[in-house]
Structure 1
Amino acid sequence: MSSDPWGRVDETGTVYVRTADGEKVVGSWQAGSPEEALAYFERKYEGLVVEIGLLEKRVKTTDLSAKDAMAAIDHLREQVDAHHAVGDLDALRARLDKLVEIVEARREERKAQRARQSDEARHAKEVLVAEAEQLAQSDQWRAAGERLRSLVDTWKGLPRLDRKSDDELWHRFSHARSAFSKRRKAHFAQLDAQREEARKTKERLVAEAEALSGSTDWGPTAARYRELMAEWKAAGRAQREHEDDLWNRFRSAQDVFFAARSSVFAERDAEQAENLKLKEELAEEAEKLLPITDLKAARAAFRSINERWEAIGHVPRDARGRVEGRMHTVDRAIQEAEEAEWRRTNPEARARAEGLTGQLQAAVDKLRTQIEQARSAGNTAKAEKLEKELEGRQALLDQALKGLQEFGG
């Protein structure tokens, strides 16, 4: 016969579990030793402990419905009441009873929450109506129009009230939107007249810009083009069908002038070419930092390179994206290394690793004690069996300790 604090196996191979109501039959075991029988049903108990722990976590950390939670509790209670496991079954029943209390409390809380949400929905719609009525008087046509559309989307996302209240509030809301639309329509009719005036002004500006496009008086002509641009912006927009064509002619005239001007400034181009060479050298120096092996040193080195980079002037426009992309690649690699370092030193992950290591160490210590007790009792077979189990637990502990070292511990 073999036993532990929560169960025993008699001479016939019948397994019992101890409960507050006395011993209960767990099952019959004929496949091996009594110790193996107890170990088998103890594992079943451990499985129930894990399942209850997972359900406790789901109830406390997710939005699991009360109906689903109670079904899961009933299912687990049936398994506990079946007495097919060896362990503290009364403790598991107590945990399930506590879960029932939590689920019932949450059910009441959600009922109260629905009532609050109804009040909140009424208040939210009243706020929307008040804002819509205020926006109906706004002259910020685009912003107010977009905001009113946003309010409609918000309204659609709110729960319905009783029909009378909902209809009354919607009527006020809809009336405010209609009033705004009527005022906006009148405004844009006036705007059309202004756009016709803008078209005439811009045609004059285009004619002058085209006349100046062949000038070689670089300074005064560039200054005049800036003035023409200011007048262009001040003129407002012409009709859509004219605006793009006028702008293309205006911009083309400027481009002709500034392209000729740029060809004269070869010295500036040469300077930008030299700047490009210097930045390519710095990009190459930065790329040598990869792969990142010493984050602190790499971060300091890249900061130094970047400071020298910022001190260099412009590079040719067609090369800017390519050379800056090389620096960005190194910068991104350093950022990823920093994120990896943060994850490695994450206190929550470290705490989980330390907890697992502690559990495994306790299991190893317990097994060693059991081996000594078995040898003292002359039970060599049991000692050898426990030593095999110890080898497995020790391997897991060694692996966990190695993982813990990665956190710097």
Structure 2
Amino acid sequence: MSSDPWGRVDETGTVYVRTADGEKVVGSWQAGTPEEALAYFERKYEGLVVEIGLLERRVKTTDLSAKDAQAAVDHLRQQVDEHHAVGDLAALAVRLDALVAAVDKRREERKVQRAKQHDESRQAKEALVAEAEELAQSEQWRAAGERLRALVDTWKGLPRLDRKSDDELWHRFSHARSAFSKRRKAHFASLDAQREEARKAKEKLVAEAESLSGSTDWGVTAARYRELMAEWKAAGRAQREAEDELWNRFRGAQDVFFAARSGVFAERDAEQSENLKLKEELAVEAEKLLPVTDLKAARAAFRSINERWEAVGHVPRDARPRVEGRMHTVERAIQESEENEWRRTNPEARARAAGLTGQLQAAVDKLRGQIDAARATGNNARADKLAKELEGRQALLDQALKGLEEFGG
């Protein structure tokens, strides 16, 4: 017979383990010495120790689900309860009890966490719905449309709620988007109708301008052309293609009339030559405003020059495109500066750029924290995967920061 502090083998080869409730039969050993029998069942005990240790680490350091953890505990407890090993089985039972407590605690923590995530998701979706309903009344068609599309992407990234709550919020969200879409379509339909009305009105103006182009009643016809120009401006814009074609015909009819009048008034050539000199001087003065460094001052100066320009009168027909082109070049440069200034100071565009930058920065910071946490727990595979994701997010952040700098910081 052989024994150790936790077990013994009797003369029949039966192996026993000592417990608080007395000796329990472990098994029978007929193949070798009693020492070999005890060593075999002691190894089985050590195997249980290793398995429990591994499970303890998994529960502590991984996201093992409570259900899987409990199943693993039950499996190990069955092996301990069946007494097929020699060792301190009571100590193993204590460790398994501690594991059950840890699993229960994790289950409760996850229940609380799920409830918190549910509340956060509800609050986030309610905020999206409120913003969408506000945007539904906006007349900033482009900006509001882009924002609503961004809200849809945000919604898709949020966890689902219970079906009833999720469906109710989605219905409100979808209704707001539909309402905005209907209003936008109605607006542009109205705009199209207005442009069609403008086209019809301008076609009439063109027809009259062309009918007057052969008139020799210089004073009356010139006055009527001025009236037609005022009516043209008041009619609003037609569709772009029609606008350009009608304008060319309208301006062409005027050119025919005024060219004929210029031919009749040849004696005014000297006066027009003097006008040309004056306008060339004004063009030189205007060109000195370029490049535009002080937009407000340049705008005021050009307005003054243009007023004097308008007061000068006609210039020879063949010189007009050249000298007017110089003024138009300056005017376009000032307009481009105005447009650039507006784009640079546009608060909506800046706010979008700042918002995007903030979201990307938060995402980068979060990823870095996740990488550090993964490294700390030895989960290098997850850390490497997150690092690759961080590279992409960092590149987007750098690009967004560069765009934000264009708005002045």
Which TM class, normalised by the smaller chain length?
0.3 to 0.5
Q: In terms of Rg, which structure is larger?
A: 2
With normalisation by structure 2, the TM-score equals: 0.43
